[in-house]
């Protein structure tokens, strides 16, 4: 192994509105990218604090700016990169990879951030205002703080560009579609990772439905590892109910609320993103763990609604795929909620799903019985590693 191959690292950045998550990966001869550390800076607008841990979870460092303080993305990224350079055993950072939710029609794969790339991505903020502006801001801030560091953008929408045109199209006039209104789909970095893991567990499975169930939740139908449909549509709001996001709602109901002047466009969007979903249904919590432990009828109803929505999409995607070979649960709820998995598997018994209750309580990896016609799996996702792999492929092809 060469000296260069053991002394380099890649950092992965996920910039949010008030937080910054990051992970650092070693670049070695095998290109396996072992995790060096992972951390975040939270509450950047009011009480910024930094914490970082190694791959086993052992804390490596902390820092607090103080309550009532505020830092911007450039300050946060400068702190993170400086800390990494000082604490990663003399490893040199060779690139940064960013999660960006929307790549639009121009970027259907990860891309080096150079030239007019960020200007184009900024132009998409009007389409996806909840995540896109902060993803782009993070890349701009890092470029200002460390202008010589190569950067790569990886898009949540890219994986779904393999969907057939009919699945990417809405029944709207041509001029409206030309304005960019189409079914983009998100969580693509997670599904990209899962698509590469499925053959290791179920090598014969061609027709797969994966459910990324976390604070944001979606499902994806995959044929031979390629997306053919997904529940999130134009924005990251439609499809399944989420922690605080509504999921599918009748458009007529939204027009009604506007006509009644109960909301304007800004407050309506805020309600749908921040006060709906599991929180809106239950009036108790947006946390599935809290809802599952509660006997309050509203909490029970919220969990039932979540499973019901998944059941509808699972049936639709089985039809789109012409059958189903495997079903995959991933992300926070998918990886850790045995009750949610059991409830959905019971609803899918008509497809031949048979749950192994003991394996389900142990969180898998396989939670279906040997004679289940559809194999069911719990496969942890790793979006950061997927970004690191794409970044390495572009900077060291």
The two structure tokens encoding residue 164: 């057939």
Give the C-alpha separation, 144 to 194, whole Å: 34
3-class DSSP string for the chain: CCHHHHCEEEEEEEECCCCEEEEEEEECCCCCCCEEEEEEEECCCCCCEEEEEECCCCEEEEEECCCCCCCCHHHHHHHHHHHHHHHCCCCEEEEEEEEECCCCCCCCCCEECCCCHHHHHHHCCCCCCCCHHHHHHHHHHHHHHCCCCCEEEEECCHHHHHCCHHHHCCCCCHHHHHCCCCCCCCCHHHHHHHHHHHHHHCCCCCEEEEEEECCCEEEEEEECCEEEEECCCCCCCCCCCCCCCCCCCCHHHHHHHHHCCCCCHHHHHHHHHHCCHHHHHHCCCCCHHHHHHCCCHHHHHHHHHHHHHHHHHHHHHHHHHCCCCEEEEEHHHHHHCHHHHHHHHHHCHHHCCCECHHHHHCCCCECECCCCCCEEEECCCCHHHHHHHHHHHHHCC
Q: Which of 156, 192, 286, 382 is catalytic?
A: 156
Q: CB atoms < 10 A from the CB of 242, how many? A: 25
Work out whether the CA dihedral 331, 332, 338, 341 comes out positive or negative: negative
**In whole angstroms, how far apart are CA 182 and each of 15, 111, 197?**
25, 22, 29
Residue 156 annotated to the active site: yes
Active site residues: 156
């Amino acid at each position: 192994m060469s000296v260069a191959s053991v002394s380099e690292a890649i950092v992965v950045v996920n910039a949010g509105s008030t937080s910054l998550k990051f992970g650092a990966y070693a670049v070695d001869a095998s290109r396996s990218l072992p995790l060096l550390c992972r951390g975040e800076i939270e509450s950047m607008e009011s009480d910024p604090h930094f914490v970082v841990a190694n791959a086993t979870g052992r804390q490596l460092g902390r820092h607090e700016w103080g309550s009532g303080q505020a830092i911007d993305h450039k300050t946060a990224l400068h702190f993170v990169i400086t800390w990494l350079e000082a604490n990663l055993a003399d490893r040199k950072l060779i690139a940064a990879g960013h999660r960006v939710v929307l790549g639009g029609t121009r970027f259907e794969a990860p891309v080096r951030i150079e030239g007019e790339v960020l200007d184009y991505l900024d132009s998409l903020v009007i389409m996806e205002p909840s995540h896109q502006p902060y993803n782009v801001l993070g890349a701009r801030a890092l470029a200002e703080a460390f202008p010589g560091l190569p950067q790569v953008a990886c898009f949540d929408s890219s994986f779904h560009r393999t969907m057939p045109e009919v699945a990417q199209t809405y029944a709207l006039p041509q001029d409206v579609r030309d304005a960019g209104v189409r079914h983009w789909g998100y969580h693509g970095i997670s599904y990209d990772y899962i698509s590469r893991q499925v053959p290791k567990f179920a090598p014969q499975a061609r027709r797969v439905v994966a459910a990324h169930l976390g604070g944001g939740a979606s499902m994806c139908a995959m044929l031979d590892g390629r997306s053919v449909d997904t529940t999130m549509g134009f924005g990251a709001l439609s499809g399944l109910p989420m922690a605080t996001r509504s999921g599918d709602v009748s458009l007529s109901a939204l027009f009604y609320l506007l006509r009644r002047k109960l909301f304007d466009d800004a407050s309506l969007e805020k309600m749908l993103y921040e006060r709906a979903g599991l929180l809106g249904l239950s009036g108790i919590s947006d946390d599935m763990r809290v809802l599952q432990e509660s006997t309050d009828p509203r909490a029970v109803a919220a969990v039932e609604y979540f499973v019901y929505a998944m059941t509808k999409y699972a049936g639709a995607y089985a039809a789109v795929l012409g059958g189903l070979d495997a079903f995959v649960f991933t992300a926070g709820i998918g990886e850790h909620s045995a009750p949610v998995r059991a409830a959905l598997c019971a609803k899918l018994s008509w497809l031949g799903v048979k749950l192994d209750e003991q394996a389900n309580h142990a969180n898998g990896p396989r939670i279906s019985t040997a004679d289940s016609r559809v194999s069911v799996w719990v496969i942890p996702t790793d979006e950061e590693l997927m970004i690191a792999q794409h970044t390495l492929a572009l900077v060291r092809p």
